[in-house]
A and B are shown apart, each in its own frame.
Chain A
Amino acid sequence: MDHLEIARSMFGTTMAFHIIFATLGVGIPLMVLFAELLYQKTNDRDYAVMANRWTKGFAVLLGVAIPSGTIAGVQLSLLWPGFMEVIGEVMALPFQIEIYAFFVEALFMSIYVYAADRISPWMRIVSLTLVALGAVASAILITNVHAFEGTPAGFRFENGEIVDVDPWAAFFNPGFFTTAGHVVVSAYMTGGFVIASIAAFKMIKDREKGRVFRFHKKALMLGLAVGGIFSLLTAFNGHQSAQLLHEYQPEKLAAAEGLFETQDYAPLAIGGFTDRETEEVKWAIEIPWALSFLADDRFDTVVRGLNDFPEEWWPPLYVHTLFNAMVGIGTLLILLSITGFFWNRFLKKKRFPKPMMWAFVASGPLSVLAIEFGWIFACTGRQPWVIYRMMKTEDAVTGASQLGTLFVLFTLVYFVLGAAVVLVLRYYFRKHPVHEAIDIKE
């Protein structure tokens, strides 16, 4: 690997690790908040137990989310000093405002966890709302920097100097709302499905089908409802994201769809692998006209193909596969929650069949996987640019040379922390099983 590839792999590894915890850090607080609200509304103590247990899990996840986020933030300056020079000058606002969101989250998280017994239930809900708001605001703001990389605004380069800086124009760059929205709704979706996964797994393992089973059933239904609603919203928003690409980063859309020739009535290729030589997507199912409709809601929309752009501007062609994997999982999850809802509400069945239960178990890990695919697609799809048509990634990378060893060390620490999180969570919830928590509360 050359210098640039090591730097990209290193930062990519950091992000791939952090994004799991960051996503759950946005998704879980919302679930806790729903559980607290349901408890206040129904007075069913099970929901209070849920809120309590999820908060415990969330606290453990935060133990890794916070330092890995700190790493990601600082590594940006260490690995990409050229990029951060521009960001510092033009796009400092979201970073700066994120700090406040971060403070709000940290302050009220501590208050919610350590002062829960000394504050009123009303204040608990306020604290929790502020935790959830802080978390989502940090996600929105940091995603805004990513949006800016794709649709930069608010500055120009003149002879290598940054001129005409308008920080608020950069802040409200064209990609901001759509991109940030995508990250938020997909994080909420993941929070819901991860809870559903755990609950479904516990239900399968539970042989008595009694009190504990009913507890998990409630958690499953809540998780599926939240996951289902937000997977739909993610899909609607995903449609907007594709249109954003059509307008602002046409070569990224072309690579995502494996489209080489510019055309109207463009077909949508589902699945398959993009082949550079024959300029087509092999083994794909083609839906005629669909891509044109996707790009701008009309079948005669002209969608630009890769051949319109110099080849050194092309993103890597494998992004088609990543894009399909992300969309595929999303679609599957929507179908799954609709089926579950239909089964429960219209067929009025008390139990889900085994295969469906295992599909619920898979929903959480699948959501996380979709998030990973989505991020890799979004970032490799922008290559060779770090700021689209403004700055190449190779011009932003550090000149320092000890990257290889550091890459190994960081990866090692992520493995240790990742393994430790799993072990600690397993240890804690084994030691404090649900039936004890329910007994105590009763």
Chain B
Amino acid sequence: MSDVIIAISLLWGFIFIYAVMATMDFGAGFWSMVYINKEKTNATNIANRYLSPTWEVTNVFIVAIVVAVISFFPGATFTLGTVLLLPGSVILLLLAVRSGFLVFSHIAEEYRKPLTYISGITGFLIPGLLIIILPVTHGNFIEVRDGVEQLLVGELLTSFHAWTFFGFAVSSTLFLSSLLLADFSNHADEQEAYHIYRRDALILGPITLTMALLVMVTMRYEAVWLYEGMMEHLPFLLASAGAFFLAGFFLLMPTGQGKRGWPRLAVIVIVLQYLLASYAYGRAHLPYLIYPSITIEDGFTNPEAFRALFITYIVGFAILFPGFIYFWRLFMKDKRYAKQQKSNYDKK
């Protein structure tokens, strides 16, 4: 593999990890808002127990992505920075409000509801805006005016293609997070919460798949080059759809003792579904970072910098790996944590 392919693969990996973690993060915030009045079911508590320890870690990934883009592809920094000033700023503003009020809602008990509403609503818009960056890289919304690249905001806002991406991101957020929370509540033996989240996942799954199809349909009209590239990887797309139906089967399957569904398997298969689809998307997008002006080769950094960065990636993640494992065992595997009635913030 050439250096530039390693770099773009690492970047793609980060984006994928963040996409999954962020949908779960923002989605959990949304569900904790939706079920805030259903005090008996514990659905809100489950969402908060997932969210509280993870949001900071998830947030690091977004910075990691920005740093990876700048450090691996400095040649694309100028264009991306200029074009994304407006959408990027809106995302940052929402993210600031969301994170701030998420923390505040855990501390200020009496104002929990309004604070949760603010963080829930701002949070659920963020994935939709983040994903808009993808259609921007497809090429139709950038124009050079007076020697400066400008984003055509009006055309972006009236593009079906962009809106299908928005819809796909929002429905994916709700779908993935409800599925994960179903698994998390099952793990915590919270049958009522499990029931609710499993139902939500079953409703949102087909909606998400429809949105994905709409993305493909509009892509055919607005970004033909990408559509054709993706069709070359049709087997991946079909396998992805297959994984979706397999997950549906795992959720519906009776498992004895009157219970239904095997949520852990469904989560794994759904992550596989997204992995396959985004691989096909990523492959088809190559070699362009931004179509048609910047390829990965144009934007790539110098070999010395790449080598130094690559070494820090290996050393850094080797050191971090045990930390991630420890974190996972404390919060995802340890039933004592999942079953706690209240988070530590609420205790004195």
With known contacts A114-B337, A431-B109, A165–B57 Cβ distance under 8 A: no
The residue that B84 contacts in the complex, of A78, A82, A116, with Cβ under 8 A, is A78
Contact A118 B337 (CB under 8 A): yes
Q: Does A66 contact B (CB under 8 A)?
A: yes
Q: Does B330 contact A (CB under 8 A)?
A: yes
The residue that A73 contacts in the complex, of B63, B71, B330, with Cβ under 8 A, is B63
**Hey, which chain A residues are within 8 Å of B80, CB to CB?**
77, 81
**Hey, which chain A residues are within 8 Å of B82, CB to CB?**
81, 398-400
**Hey, which chain B residues are within 8 Å of A80, CB to CB?**
81
**Hey, which chain A residues are within 8 Å of B309, CB to CB?**
92-93, 96, 167
Contact B57 A428 (CB under 8 A): no
Contact B104 A424 (CB under 8 A): yes
Contact A114 B331 (CB under 8 A): yes
A93 to B327, CA, bound (A): 26
A243 to B330, CA, bound (A): 49
Q: Which residue of A lies closest to B64 (CB)?
A: A99
Map CB proximity to B onto A382-408 as digits: 1 under 8 Å, 0 otherwise: 000000000000000011111100100
- A interface bracket (residues with beta carbon within 8 Å of B): 35 or more
Contact B100 A420 (CB under 8 A): yes
Q: Does A107 contact B (CB under 8 A)?
A: yes
Contact A99 B67 (CB under 8 A): yes
Contact A99 B308 (CB under 8 A): no
**Hey, which chain A residues are within 8 Å of B53, CB to CB?**
110-111, 113-115
Map CB proximity to A onto B66-77 as digits: 1 under 8 Å, 0 otherwise: 110011111101
Q: Which of B87-95, B215-223, B241-249, B262-270 contacts A (4 or more CB under 8 A)?
A: B87-95
Q: Which residue of A lies closest to B62 (CB)?
A: A70
Q: Closest approach, in angstroms, between the C-beta of A215 and any C-beta of chain B? A: 16
A66 to B97, CA, bound (A): 11
**Hey, which chain B residues are within 8 Å of A64, CB to CB?**
96, 99-100
Contact A440 B97 (CB under 8 A): no
The binding surface of chain B is classed by DSSP as helix
Q: Which residue of B lies closest to A101 (CB)?
A: B316
A62 to B107, CA, bound (A): 13
Q: Does A359 contact B (CB under 8 A)?
A: no
Contact A70 B95 (CB under 8 A): yes
Contact A118 B334 (CB under 8 A): yes
**Hey, which chain A residues are within 8 Å of B57, CB to CB?**
103, 106-107, 110
Contact B308 A167 (CB under 8 A): yes
Contact B67 A106 (CB under 8 A): no
Q: Does B149 contact A (CB under 8 A)?
A: yes
A86 to B81, CA, bound (A): 13
Q: Closest approach, in angstroms, between the C-beta of B108 and any C-beta of chain A? A: 5
With known contacts A56-B107, A103-B323, A410–B312 Cβ distance under 8 A: no
Q: Which of B29-37, B194-202, B298-306 contacts A (4 or more CB under 8 A)?
A: B298-306
**Hey, which chain B residues are within 8 Å of A70, CB to CB?**
59, 62-63, 92, 95-96
Contact B81 A78 (CB under 8 A): yes
Q: Closest approach, in angstroms, between the C-beta of A160 and any C-beta of chain B? A: 13
Q: Closest approach, in angstroms, between the C-beta of A159 and any C-beta of chain B? A: 16
**Hey, which chain B residues are within 8 Å of A78, CB to CB?**
81, 84-85, 88-89
Contact A66 B99 (CB under 8 A): yes
**Hey, which chain A residues are within 8 Å of B98, CB to CB?**
67
Contact A410 B89 (CB under 8 A): yes
Q: Does A90 contact B (CB under 8 A)?
A: yes
The residue that A417 contacts in the complex, of B63, B64, B78, B97, with Cβ under 8 A, is B97
Q: Closest approach, in angstroms, between the C-beta of B193 and any C-beta of chain A? A: 19
Contact A85 B78 (CB under 8 A): yes
A102 to B63, CA, bound (A): 9
A84 to B85, CA, bound (A): 14
**Hey, which chain A residues are within 8 Å of B52, CB to CB?**
110, 114
Contact B104 A99 (CB under 8 A): no
Q: Does A144 contact B (CB under 8 A)?
A: no
Contact A71 B344 (CB under 8 A): no
The residue that B70 contacts in the complex, of A56, A84, A108, with Cβ under 8 A, is A84
Q: Does A89 contact B (CB under 8 A)?
A: yes
**Hey, which chain A residues are within 8 Å of B97, CB to CB?**
413, 416-417
A79 to B96, CA, bound (A): 18
Q: Does A43 contact B (CB under 8 A)?
A: no
Map CB proximity to B onto A134-166 as digits: 1 under 8 Å, 0 otherwise: 000000000000000000000000000010011
Q: Would you mind naming 22 contact pairs between A and B with Cβ atoms under 8 Å apart?
A: A62-B56, A63-B100, A63-B102, A63-B103, A70-B95, A71-B95, A73-B63, A75-B89, A79-B81, A92-B67, A92-B74, A92-B309, A96-B309, A99-B63, A103-B320, A104-B323, A110-B56, A118-B336, A165-B302, A167-B308, A167-B309, A406-B89
The 9 closest A-B pairs by CB, nearest first: A63-B103, A88-B74, A399-B148, A92-B71, A81-B81, A110-B53, A106-B56, A67-B96, A100-B316
